[in-house]
Amino acid sequence: MGKIEETVPSAEGRRKLAVLTLGEPNCRGIAVTVRIGEEGRLPSTEISGKLPTRRKIIERLDISQSLYCGTNVGRLEAVASQVTNVSITDISEKGHILMNDWLKSESFRPIREMLLAKLAPEDEVRLIIQTRDIQLWRLPWYAWDFFERYPKAQLALSASMYDRIIPIETSRERIKILAILGSDSGINLEKDRKILEKLPNAEICFVVKPKREELMEQLWEQQPYDILYFAGHSCTEGEKGRLYINETESVTIGDLKHPLRKAISQSLQLGIFNSCDGLGLAQELASLHIPQVILMREPVPDRVAQEFLKYFLQAFATGKPLYLSVREARERLTGFEYQFSRASWLPIIYQNLAQSPPNWHQLCSS
């Protein structure tokens, strides 16, 4: 295939959507298809390629995770103190190089060149990785030098199956948020509360360390709400997410599926899980067809979780698009990477491809 010529960049940039669909890995590699188009329209371009098997990347990522995390449950106060910064940095840089070498594979070249041809550096790009393999979700996609070339691009993950739930039309003057503050052993959730309380034009119901029955009651009775927020300890078990709602009890998304399904059918547009290791949560929420979720890929230091929430809400509540608000907040986390390596890689969006992300004003009128 000959080299694709790049298009002339637009003067102001456009809003573009690029969906990379990855098949299940096998001995021949991973089939990849990319669909590119203007935001809100049908894709105008589609092309296929392939990536080699990812075994070496997964092995390197597993080493990096074991050094970085130290444990697999709970928002953490001092992850970096458990290993030397030299070890973390060394592993992280090698993983960065390995990821880009993988994405420069010859079999992936048609897709790389199509992205260059159809996207201009000033475009606002939603790049979505769609796959049913949670291990592919775990790869360090932020290491891809694509994001250096496109400063307004933001990554999201998506399941291979999705559906749109059309909510009941409502109109409110204030955004309604249900905020669950769970187990706080070793962490400070009072800062999360203070950040949320500063939000403009928002009505917030706080549920603090609820018993299981109380949580179920609040999920039913506080509907409809636009944003569901959880802070505390969580983990991924296999492909399921578990939330520690108090010091002795935990629940899975499956346990909460009935009230959550009703909330989504009414007005729930965004879930924010400011807790550790949230990919299992995204997997289960995807089956309920939630529009979008912001979560942490891996165990997250307590301070990083708090600063991300502050930076994200500062941007989002002033009217910036959700994706650009996440990117801005992530980039501001780089100031903490001298202490917590790759902190800016932890926040990630899960996106239901049948839905479009709302801005703050649209949440009021959804």
Q: What is the pLDDT of residues 21-57, one digit of tens each?
A: 999 888 889 999 999 999 999 999 999 999 998 666 6
Tell me the per-residue pLDDT of 78-93, one tens digit each, with 9 for 90 and over.
333 344 444 555 656 7
> If you ran DSSP here, which 8-state letter would residue 161 be given?
S
Report the pLDDT averaged over residues 91-118. 89
Check: CB of residue 342 under 8 Å from CB of residue 68. yes
Q: How far apart are CA 168 and CA 225, in angstroms?
A: 12
| CB within 8 Å of 27: residues ≥ 6 apart | 53
Lowest-confidence pick of 190-199, 225-234, 267-276, 355-364: 355-364
Task: Check: CB of residue 134 under 8 Å from CB of residue 279.
Answer: yes
Q: Which helix (H) or strand (E) holds 263?
A: helix 257-266
Please write the tens of the pLDDT for every residue from 288-309.
Answer: 999 999 999 988 999 999 999 9
- pTM value is 0.90
- pLDDT recorded at residue 208: 98
Higher pLDDT, 82 or 225: 225
Token pair listed for 291? 């529009």
Model confidence band, residue 9 (pLDDT cutoffs 50, 70, 90): very low
Decide if pLDDT at 178 tops 90.
yes
Q: Name the residue type at position 308.
A: F
Q: Cα separations (Å) of 40 from 9, 43, 200, 299, 330? A: 20, 9, 28, 34, 25
For residues 304 and 345, give the distance between their C-alpha atoms in angstroms, rounded to a whole number. 11
313-325 in b/e form (b: 16+ CB < 10 A) is bbbbbeebbbbbb
